[in-house]
């Protein structure tokens, strides 16, 4: 198919093609033989897609951390800190942000102009005494004269409709910053934003982590205590060392884990509609983050992320009005055989971090009627049949 004919297609079909090609590439992400992925614990579920994003041994290993840019314009317009962030391996998953909060300072109670800078997103050479990684991804925030320089990356894909996301991360640096890892569906009305959050405040005790289904305050500005859980990192660990933070956004309930240990479950206000993922390290001098002292810095560092998810709606997200199933959803219903052929686990039996383990192989079995094989009542459509259905549509 030529580019010209792709361009001529209706956007809904184009979305379906992009979705399909993405599904295939996700499937190929070190789990080519798996047709679905199972998570463990009380929020266990099955998912169609898997991504493992590994920043542990990025080559070439960078020699130095980029210097903080002290000029607002230059910080905003900064280029990527290395080729790594220009390569499609990165850009297919993340967009590095450079927005500032000048429009929302008043409404959000910020006291400091915050500027997201691509210069604060970089691969850092490890000086830790651990041979399992030589690099990691760093998001930096720094308080400077006149502004707070911050870091944010947003997922390109914004059609996650239920997800289990894991981040092997640590937070270091000065008080006054917030490290965030969360699902996000924007809305102009702050009361209609949907988020399932992991937040670590550097002003808080070193073992305190906060989990929230946003919004955490109502329209009158009162705190919704049911939306939030303040917890501690289990096993006397703290957030300055590496921990696996896991958020399971499931229908009707968000569940959080640290190093496989359950830490919170919140049903109240669980996000409903397809969303993206955001990771950030920021401060705005408001009452939530507090202030950072001038020239102080803080860092969110990530060795790897693993995400299993389903999708619905347009790949790059919906406006609130057209949330729902796109062309692929309709087509999926039209064709396909129920059943997930090869079930892989991303928790159970995993020996190599990020590599799903085979749990059940139902290939060659009758599509219906297998019981006690761990599939429950899951109705599944093999990806290749979905693809066939999409291409059969033309």
Ligand X SMILES: *[C@@H]1O[C@H](CO)[C@@H](O)[C@H](O)[C@H]1NC(C)=O
Give the separation between CA 250 and CA 338, rounded to whole angstroms: 21
Return the structure tokens found at 317. Answer: 């997200």
Give the separation between CA 321 and CA 93, rounded to whole angstroms: 25
Q: Under a CB-based contact definition with an 8 Å cutoff, are residues 174 and 292 in contact?
A: yes
Give the separation between CA 137 and CA 183, rounded to whole angstroms: 19
**Of the two residues 126 and 310, which places its CB atom closer to ligand X in the complex?**
310
If binding is defined by CB under 6 A, does position 345 make contact with ligand X?
no
Where in 89-118 is the site for ligand X (CB under 6 A)? 100, 102, 111
Q: Under a CB-based contact definition with an 8 Å cutoff, are residues 199 and 210 in contact?
A: yes
Minimum CB–partner distance for residue 162 and ligand X (Å): 4
If binding is defined by CB under 6 A, does position 121 make contact with ligand X?
no
Q: Which of 378, 385, 388, 393 binds ligand X (CB under 6 A)?
A: 378
**Of the two residues 49 and 58, which places its CB atom closer to ligand X in the complex?**
49
Q: Of 292, 302, 242, which Cα lies nearest the Cα of 54? A: 302
**Of the two residues 241 and 358, which places its CB atom closer to ligand X in the complex?**
358
Q: Under a CB-based contact definition with an 8 Å cutoff, are residues 375 and 343 in contact?
A: yes
**Of the two residues 209 and 279, which places its CB atom closer to ligand X in the complex?**
209
SS3 269: coil
Other Cβ atoms within 10 Å of 243 Cβ, number: 23
Q: Of 183, 379, 190, which Cα lies nearest the Cα of 273? A: 183
Minimum CB–partner distance for residue 50 and ligand X (Å): 12
Where in 285-344 is the site for ligand X (CB under 6 A)? 285, 287, 290-291, 310, 342
Q: Which of 27, 49, 76, 280 binds ligand X (CB under 6 A)?
A: 76
If binding is defined by CB under 6 A, does position 351 make contact with ligand X?
yes
**H/E stretch holding 22:** helix 11-27
* Nearest residue relative to ligand X (C-beta): 260
If binding is defined by CB under 6 A, does position 356 make contact with ligand X?
no
Q: Residues in the site for ligand X, rule: CB under 6 A?
A: 33, 40-41, 45-48, 69-74, 76, 100, 102, 111, 162, 201, 204, 210, 223, 225, 228, 230, 250-251, 260, 285, 287, 290-291, 310, 342, 347, 349, 351, 357-358, 361, 363-364, 378-380
């Amino acid at each position: 198919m030529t580019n010209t004919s792709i361009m001529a297609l209706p956007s809904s079909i184009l979305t379906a093609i992009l979705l399909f090609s993405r599904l295939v590439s996700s499937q190929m992400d070190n789990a080519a033989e798996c047709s679905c992925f199972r998570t463990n614990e009380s929020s266990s579920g099955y998912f169609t897609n898997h991504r493992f994003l590994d920043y542990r041994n990025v080559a070439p290993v960078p020699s130095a951390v980029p210097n903080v840019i002290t000029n607002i314009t230059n910080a905003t317009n900064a280029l990527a800190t290395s080729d790594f962030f220009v390569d499609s391996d990165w850009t297919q998953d993340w967009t590095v942000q450079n927005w500032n909060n000048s429009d929302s300072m008043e409404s959000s109670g910020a006291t400091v102009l915050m500027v997201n800078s691509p210069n604060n997103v970089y691969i850092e050479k490890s000086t830790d005494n651990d041979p399992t990684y030589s690099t990691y991804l760093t998001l930096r925030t720094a308080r400077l004269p006149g502004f707070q320089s911050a870091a944010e990356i947003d997922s390109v894909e914004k059609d996650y409709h239920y997800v289990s996301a894991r981040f092997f991360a640590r937070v270091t640096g000065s008080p006054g910053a917030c490290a965030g890892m969360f699902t996000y569906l924007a809305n102009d009305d702050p009361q209609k934003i949907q988020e399932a959050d992991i937040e670590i405040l550097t002003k808080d005790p070193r073992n305190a982590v906060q989990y929230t289904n946003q919004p955490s305050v109502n329209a009158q500005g009162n705190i919704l205590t049911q939306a939030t859980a303040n917890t501690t990192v289990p096993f006397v660990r703290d957030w300055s060392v590496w921990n696996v933070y896991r958020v399971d956004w499931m229908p009707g309930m968000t569940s959080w884990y640290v190093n496989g240990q359950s830490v919170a479950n919140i049903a109240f206000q669980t996000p409903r509609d397809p969303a993206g993922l955001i990771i950030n390290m920021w401060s705005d001098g408001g009452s939530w983050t507090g202030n950072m002292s001038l020239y102080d810095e803080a860092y969110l560092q990530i060795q790897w992320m693993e995400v299993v998810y389903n999708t619905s709606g347009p790949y790059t997200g919906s406006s609130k009005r057209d949330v729902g199933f796109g062309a692929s959803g309709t087509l999926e219903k039209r064709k396909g055989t129920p059943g997930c052929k090869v079930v892989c686990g991303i928790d159970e039996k995993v020996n190599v971090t990020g590599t799903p383990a085979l749990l059940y192989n139902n290939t060659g079995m009758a599509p219906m009627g297998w019981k006690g094989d761990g599939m429950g009542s899951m109705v599944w459509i093999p990806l290749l049949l979905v693809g066939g259905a999409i291409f059969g549509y033309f």
